[in-house]
Amino acid sequence: MRSTDAITLTRFRASFADPHLLLEAVKRLKQEGYPIIDTYSPFPVHGMDEAIGLKPSRLPRACLAFGLLGLATALGVQIWTSAYDYPLIVGGKPLVSLPAFIPVSFELTVLFAGLGVVASLFVASGMRPKFKVPDLHPGVNDDRFVVAGEIQAGASFTVVQSLMASLGALETELLVEDKSQTDHSLLDREAKPLAFLLAAIPAVLVLAALPLLNRNYLKRNLAWDGGMMAPVAYQSFDPHPSLPGGQVLQTPPAGTVSRKGLVPLPYGPGKVEAERAGLELKNPFQPSQENFSRGKLVYDRSCAACHGLDGDNNSSVIVARGLLAPAILVAPVVRDMPDGRLFHVATFGGPQKMKGLGDLISRDDRWKVVLYIRELQRAAAPKPLPAPPPSTGATS
């Protein structure tokens, strides 16, 4: 221990067990004229700021400033990207549609204000990782309430000690430190790194803006997996480990109307071609219950509206409307046409107006319709036929 008397510019530290005792002691020290350096406590002691004469913090202003910065950033980014750099109309809204920008603006305001004010606190109070904590009283984060003050020239430590003891101090110690360390203006201590930090801001901003100013759209992005540029989709004829048949291309489900991939039909439209088809093509389907019912289904859906349900124009819509009457399918003219010719008509259309239905009805179904028409003709045959072809023939 040093001699405790008559040391100039020294600090003392007294600890208490209760915040109220501390507050009383601080008030008393102030009265007696001792400069208070700081107090230390496990939780904020209310009324201490006034007692040691701290002015209210200016951090709220920093918070406001950062918040405004966030707001400006948010609006700037949103307006520039949505209205200038990438003017895309979405949902019929104007390019700059402020109501739609409110949420993001609000979030960024809060984000900047919150992070900014915490960063300001760290800077203002010198809070950063420290392996040796200055002015740390061992019990202060537990249950000790500590005051540190200065003993001015001429004053004696013993006087302070007894004063503190009379106010309930658990212990009072003398700290001899050089002036530079007792300097409690933390802002001074942080000034240098702070200056560097501030100076770095423009550099960072320029660096951040560079990619924006210098964009080369012909150059591809750095992409670590190629993203959507490299599709993972399989090609039709690729092998595939887990699909039936071990390949990607699968047989289409039943009933699919195929548009390509079938054996080509080597015929064109027209009467000559129709006759050729009549000579060359044969119905690949045998009359059977199944084929009839399929043929009936297709006929009823695709032919009956014009040709009538029984192929006799009786229930024909277009006849009822006075339009060009279709050929009577159960008439001998048609009955005598070979299967291939009927198939050709169903595919490429009639000699005058009838549209070819080859692109709507699958090839198999067209053959089954022919089977069905044959059935209709057979059903109609026993009846005494109307006067043979001429007037009501294929043409009128």
Partner 1 sequence: MAPEDHTSALPATLLIEDEQERGYGHVLPLIDGNKTYSQVTEEVFSTTERMPPLKWWLALSVSLSLLLLGAWAVTQTVTRGIGTWGLNRTVGWAFDITNFVFWVGIGHAGTLISAILFLFRQRWRTSINRAAEAMTIFAVMCAGTFPIIHMGRPWLAFWATPYPNTRGPLWVNFKSPLLWDVFAISTYFIISLTFWYLGMVPDLATMRDRAKTKVRKAIFSIFSLGWNGSNRTWSRYETVYMLLAGLSTPLVISVHTIVSMDFATSVIPGWHATIFPPYFVAGAVFSGFAMVLTLMIIARKVMDLEEYITVRHLEAMTKVIIATGMIVGMAYGTEFFMAWYSGNNFERYVFINRALGPFKWAYWSMVSCNVIIPQLFWIRKVRTTPWMIFILSIFVNIGMWFERFVIIVTSLHRDYLPSSWAMYTPTFVEVAIFLGSFGLFFTCFLIFTRLLPMIAASEVKGVLKHEEH
Residue 49 or 273: the one with the smaller Cβ distance to partner 1 is 49
User: Applying CB under 6 A, does 160 fall inside the site for ligand HEC?
Assistant: no
Binding residue (CB under 6 A) for ligand HEC from 25, 160, 346, 376: 346
End-to-end Cα distance, the chain: 133
∠259-302-350 over CA atoms, to 5°? Answer: 85
Measured CA distances, 134 to 81, 149, 181, 186 (Å):
49, 15, 9, 11
Residue of the chain from 14, 25, 29, 146 that contacts partner 1 (CB under 8 A):
146
CA distances from residue 87 to 2, 79, 84, 101, 231 in whole angstroms, order as listed? 77, 10, 6, 15, 28
Q: Which does 305 bind (CB under 5 to 8 A by kind): ligand HEC, partner 1, none?
A: ligand HEC
Residues 317 and 325: their CA atoms lie apart, in Å, by 10
- 217 touches 227 (CB < 8 A): no
Q: Please tell me whether residue 334 binds ligand HEC under the rule CB under 6 A.
A: yes
Q: What tokens does 94 get?
A: 């104007």
C-beta of 167 vs 345, nearer to ligand HEC: 345
Chosen from ligand HEC, partner 1, none, partner binding at 156 (C-beta under 5 to 8 Å by type)? none
List the single partner that 225 binds among partner 1, ligand HEC, none, CB under 5 to 8 Å by kind. Answer: partner 1
Within positions 25 to 54, which residues make up the interface with partner 1, using CB under 8 A?
A: 38-46, 48-49, 52, 54
Residues 309-328 that bind ligand HEC (CB under 6 A): 318, 324, 326-327
As measured in angstroms, the least distance from the Cβ of 137 to partner 1 is 8
| Residue 297 in the binding site for ligand HEC (CB under 6 A) | no
Determine which helix (DSSP H) or strand (DSSP E) holds 330, and give its type and residue range.
none
Binding partner of residue 111 among ligand HEC, partner 1, none, CB under 5 to 8 Å per kind? partner 1
Q: Does 103 bind partner 1 (CB under 8 A)?
A: yes
389 in contact with partner 1 (CB under 8 A) = no
195/364 Cα distance (integer angstroms): 85
State which residue, 74 or 371, has the beta carbon closest to partner 1: 74
Q: What is the CA radius of gyration of the chain?
A: 49
